[in-house]
Structures are given as structure tokens and as C-alpha cells.
């Protein structure tokens, strides 16, 4: 697939990076809604206080909820643009589909956001909204990655993977345990589950991610595209464990009697959600780079598909 070379399109790539960054801001804005218990401060959807465009007085919970909705609309717009842009200018057909997938995900995410408001934040819907948010973030990061100059122009430095289990297996396992951690974390955060599955799974995440990044660094530190995400993943993991501990202390240990969401628990939980999103995206990038540079274990499963020339 990579052989169908696409010229580097700087504007397209920068726009994709901007979309991914905006999505990260949106995740923080969303986490602020949850941490401030402001999810129902605007009771209606798709309107806000009965209006599609009027900006309400941004005080109290509305400040968080409505700001989140506005940033979400903005990111939705960016996604529409990037999907169309990709569809029209990309030569790689799978990239066109990725653009469409991004659009579909953002629409589903918006609908989930609305549904959770209309059904008064049921834990499964709120958690699905939290999990799909990070999924969308990963897609946005991937689009930015695939349109980047390194991806498009560089000839990948390919090495054979000798390890067992293979590095690609480890990176996929990392993504899997992170997803489990995200889902049980979200279920706990949205009052649908006890805290212990999340805390019990945390050492599991720590072990798998450490194993993966150490293995990557040990064998392939010469390859920058692998070294960088591996180092970042390790650093983020340590930060995330500390933040998780802080979130637990401020929200569960001290905060269970709080009369309102207090600043330390808002900051620690929002940071924990944000770093969680970065960690998941980093794991996805690492997996993709491993697949690109150390492809052995994966080669057989690449389907040989006939490609018709679309260069019209």
C-alpha cells in the first residue's frame, strides 16, 4: 500500500495536526464537564437552552458544558473539512477511508454526547462517549502521522523481528490493556462500576507497557520512529500512574464527602484523562511504526488486494 506514493502535502498535513491538537483540547474540555459534574447543566440537545446558535450566559456548569459543545462543533467542522480534503487529494485509497472513518466517528461521538444528556448520563453511554472520544483522538493523530513528511517521503528502515512474542504483538496487547483500562476507568468515573477493576488492571497496564517499550528500546533504538514513541510511552506511563494515584486520593479518599467538585480533584482527574488519551495515542503510533519498520510477524496477514489505478 505504501508503494503508491503520495506527494507530501504540507497544508493537508498541518491541517491534520491542527485537528488532532484541537481534539486534545476538546478531550480536556470534556473531562472538565465530567469533573465539574456539569453534564446536565444544559438540559436539551441538539439545542442549547432551545437555541442552535445563541451562546448562553457562560456561568457555573454551563461554562463547561456549552464550551465543550462549541469546541466539539468546531472539531466536527474540522473533521468534515479533513474528510473532504483527504477524499479529494489523497492517492492512497485507505487514507480516503480513514478520513471517512474519522467523520463517522465524530458524528457517532456527537450523537453519544447528545444521548447521554437526553438520558441523564447513564454510565454506559457516558463511558462510551469517553472511550469513543479517545478513539477519535487516535484516528486524528493517525491522519496527522500518515500525512507527515517522514511517513510520505522517507523510505522506512525495515528490520526483522526476532523476539517472541513479537514486538507487534506486544504493542497490540498494549493498546488492548489500555482500552480495558479506559473502559473500566470511565465506568468508575461515571458511577457505573466500583473503583477496583481500574486499580487492579493498572499494574497489568504498567507491566505490559513497560515490557513493550523496553523491548522496543532494547532492539530498535536505532530506528527513531520507534525509539521516540517508546520513550514517550514510558514517560507518560509513569506520569499517568502518579496522576491516577492523585486522582484516587483527591476524588475517592478525600473527595467522597465534598460539597462540590474541588479544584484539586478537578485538576488531577482532568489531567489523568488527558494523559490517558496521550498514552493511548502514543501506543497506537508505536504499534503503527513497529508494523512499518519491523514487519516480519505481520507480513503474512497483509491481504494481497488488487489495486486499480485511480490516478485520474
Partner 1 sequence: MGHNTYKKGDVMTTKKWAAMRGLLSFLALALLLGCSKKENTSEEQATSPAKEAKTASAPIDPATAATVSGTVTFGGAVPKPQKIDMSQDQACKGNNVSETIVADSGKLANVFVYVKDGLGDRTFDVPKEPVTLDQKGCQYHPHVLGVMTGQNIEIKNDDPTTHNIHPTPKDNREWNESQPPKAAALEKSFAREEIMLPVKCNQHPWMKMYMSVVKSPFFAVTGADGKYEIKGLPPGDYTLAFVQEKLGAQEQKVTLAAKDSKTVDIAFKQ
| SS3 label, residue 51 | strand
Hey, CA dihedral for 79, 81, 83, 86, is it positive or negative? negative
Beta bridge partners of 48: 51
Beta carbons of 136 and 23 less than 8 angstroms apart: yes
What is the spatial distance between Cα 92 and Cα 82, in angstroms, rounded to a whole number? 15
Side-chain half-sphere exposure of 287, counting CA atoms within 13 A = 20
- Rule CB under 6 A: say whether 185 interacts with ligand HEM: yes
- DSSP state letter for 121: -
- Rule CB under 8 A: say whether 38 interacts with partner 1: yes
Burial (Cβ within 10 Å: 0-12, 13-18, ≥19) of residue 162 = exposed
Beta carbons of 297 and 166 less than 8 angstroms apart: yes
Select from 235, 254, 276 the least CA-distant residue to 28. 276
- Single residue of 12, 13, 66, 69 touching ligand HEM by CB under 6 A: 69
Contact partner, 120, from partner 1, ligand HEM, none, Cβ < 5-8 Å per class = partner 1
Q: Could you tell me the three cell numbers for 35? A: 469533573
Residues of span 7-36 touching ligand HEM by CB under 6 A: 26-27, 30-31, 33-35
Contact partner, 182, from ligand HEM, partner 1, none, Cβ < 5-8 Å per class = ligand HEM
Compute the least distance from the CB of residue 108 to partner 1, in Å. 6
- Rule CB under 6 A: say whether 100 interacts with ligand HEM: no
What is the spatial distance between Cα 122 and Cα 109, in angstroms, rounded to a whole number? 15
- Single residue of 1, 11, 14, 119 touching partner 1 by CB under 8 A: 119
What is the spatial distance between Cα 34 and Cα 41, in angstroms, rounded to a whole number? 11
Question: Total residues at the site for ligand HEM (CB under 6 A)?
Answer: 55
What is the spatial distance between Cα 143 and Cα 156, in angstroms, rounded to a whole number? 18
Residues of span 46-75 touching partner 1 by CB under 8 A: 49, 56-57, 59-63, 65
Beta carbons of 135 and 4 less than 8 angstroms apart: no
Q: Could you tell me the three cell numbers for 187? A: 465506568
Residues of span 110-139 touching ligand HEM by CB under 6 A: 110, 113-114, 116-117, 121, 126, 129-130, 133, 136
Residues of span 70-89 touching ligand HEM by CB under 6 A: 72, 75-76
- Rule CB under 8 A: say whether 40 interacts with partner 1: yes
| SS3 label, residue 162 | coil
What is the spatial distance between Cα 158 and Cα 290, in angstroms, rounded to a whole number? 9
Select from 165, 167, 297 the least CA-distant residue to 219. 167
By rule CB under 6 A, what string of x and - marks binding of each residue 220-259 to ligand HEM?
-----------------x--xx--xx-xx--xx-------
- Single residue of 141, 186, 208, 287 touching ligand HEM by CB under 6 A: 186
- Rule CB under 8 A: say whether 260 interacts with partner 1: yes
* Binding interface with partner 1 (CB under 8 A): 36-43, 49, 56-57, 59-63, 65, 87, 93, 97, 100-101, 104, 108, 111-112, 115, 118-120, 122, 124-125, 257-261, 305, 308, 310
* Binding interface with ligand HEM (CB under 6 A): 26-27, 30-31, 33-35, 39, 45, 68-69, 72, 75-76, 106, 109-110, 113-114, 116-117, 121, 126, 129-130, 133, 136, 178, 181-182, 185-186, 188-190, 195, 198-199, 202, 205-206, 237, 240-241, 244-245, 247-248, 251-252, 269, 272-273, 276, 279
Amino acid at each position: 500500500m505504501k508503494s503508491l506514493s503520495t506527494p507530501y502535502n504540507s497544508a493537508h498535513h498541518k491541517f491534520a495536526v491542527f485537528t488532532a491538537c484541537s481534539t486534545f483540547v476538546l478531550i480536556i474540555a470534556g473531562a472538565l464537564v465530567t469533573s465539574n459534574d456539569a453534564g446536565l447543566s444544559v438540559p436539551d440537545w441538539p439545542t442549547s437552552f432551545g437555541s442552535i446558535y445563541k451562546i448562553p450566559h457562560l456561568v457555573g456548569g454551563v461554562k463547561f458544558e456549552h464550551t465543550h459543545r462549541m469546541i466539539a462543533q468546531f472539531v466536527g467542522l474540522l473533521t468534515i473539512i479533513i474528510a473532504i480534503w483527504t477524499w479529494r487529494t489523497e492517492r492512497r485509497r485507505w487514507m480516503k477511508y480513514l478520513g471517512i472513518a474519522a467523520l463517522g466517528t465524530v458524528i457517532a461521538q456527537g450523537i453519544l454526547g447528545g444521548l447521554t444528556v437526553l438520558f441523564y448520563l447513564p454510565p454506559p453511554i457516558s463511558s462510551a462517549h469517553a472511550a469513543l472520544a479517545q478513539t477519535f483522538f487516535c484516528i486524528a493523530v493517525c491522519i496527522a502521522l500518515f500525512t507527515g513528511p517522514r511517513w510520505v517521503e522517507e523510505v522506512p528502515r525495515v528490520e526483522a523481528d526476532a523476539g517472541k512474542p513479537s514486538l507487534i504483538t506486544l504493542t497490540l496487547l498494549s493498546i488492548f490493556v489500555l482500552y480495558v483500562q479506559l473502559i473500566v476507568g470511565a465506568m468508575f468515573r461515571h458511577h457505573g462500576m466500583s473503583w477496583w477493576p481500574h486499580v487492579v488492571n493498572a499494574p497489568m497496564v504498567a507491566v505490559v507497557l513497560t515490557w513493550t517499550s523496553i523491548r522496543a528500546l532494547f532492539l530498535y533504538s536505532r530506528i527513531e520512529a520507534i525509539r521516540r514513541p517508546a520513550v514517550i510511552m514510558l514517560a507518560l506511563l509513569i506520569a499517568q500512574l502518579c496522576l491516577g494515584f492523585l486522582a484516587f486520593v483527591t476524588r475517592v479518599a478525600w473527595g467522597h464527602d465534598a460539597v462540590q467538585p474541588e479544584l484539586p480533584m478537578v485538576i488531577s482527574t482532568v489531567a489523568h484523562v488527558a494523559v490517558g488519551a496521550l498514552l493511548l495515542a502514543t501506543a497506537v503510533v508505536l504499534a503503527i511504526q513497529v508494523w512499518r519498520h519491523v514487519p516480519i510477524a505481520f507480513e503474512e496477514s497483509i491481504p494481497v488486494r488488487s489495486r486499480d489505478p485511480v490516478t485520474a
